[in-house]
A and B are shown apart, each in its own frame.
Chain A
């Protein structure tokens, strides 16, 4: 039973526009969320995270929004660049258990020049 879901397997966006990647989770006990970015033939790399005590965290062009009542988080990339083309995974962890992260299945973002 997948507790973290990314329902869009792919997303295509024009360069310069906003990319919005979505993630839903089912376990209300999750209290820390992360986004990873993965290029082909490489491992996922950490992008940005957010604690459940916040509803927004921003780092440069990347912003993560958390809606706890809806059990939904999103990653906004603005402006999108061709180098952002990659697979993006969201992940969640339960309290006091950073040894176990639940991952979504990923969304492949294609930013067109």
Chain B
């Protein structure tokens, strides 16, 4: 149980284009989902917290107009990287907190490797 999927697992896009990453909780409902970014040999950095049906809360330094987050249902959150640049190349990983779970619970997806050329 408590499986989170991400799609795609890897994507290559050209500079200036937009790319959408999906995060799904497969066997539970998640009111809250999180989006992280990880640079090589660095820690997971929280980008934003998304709550179903409301606007995402972005961490300081994260451009909300560049990283669009939508959490339209209790099982799906999407991250759209708009007008991608090579510096956006990174590993993006989402997590989901069960609506009925403990406050510290979160289940992670396998991540998406984004390469912008």
Chain A interface residues (CB < 8 Å from chain B):
2, 4, 9, 32, 34, 36, 41-46, 49, 89, 93, 98-106
Interface residues of B (CB under 8 A from A): 4, 9, 32, 34, 36, 41-46, 49, 57, 59, 93, 95, 103-111
A-B contact count (CB 8 A): 49
Cβ distance A7 to chain B, nearest Cβ, rounded Å: 12
Asked whether A43 and B49 contact (CB < 8 A) given A98-B103, A98-B104, A105-B43, the answer is no
Q: Which 4 A-B pairs have the closest CB atoms?
A: A43-B108, A103-B44, A98-B103, A103-B43
Q: How far is the CA of A34 from the CA of B4 in the complex (A)?
A: 19
Return the chain B residue nearest A102 by Cβ. Answer: B43
Given A44-B108, A89-B44, A99-B32, 4 further pairs, Cβ under 8 A: A36-B108, A99-B34, A101-B106, A105-B41
From A43, A89, A100, contact of B43 by CB (8 A): A89
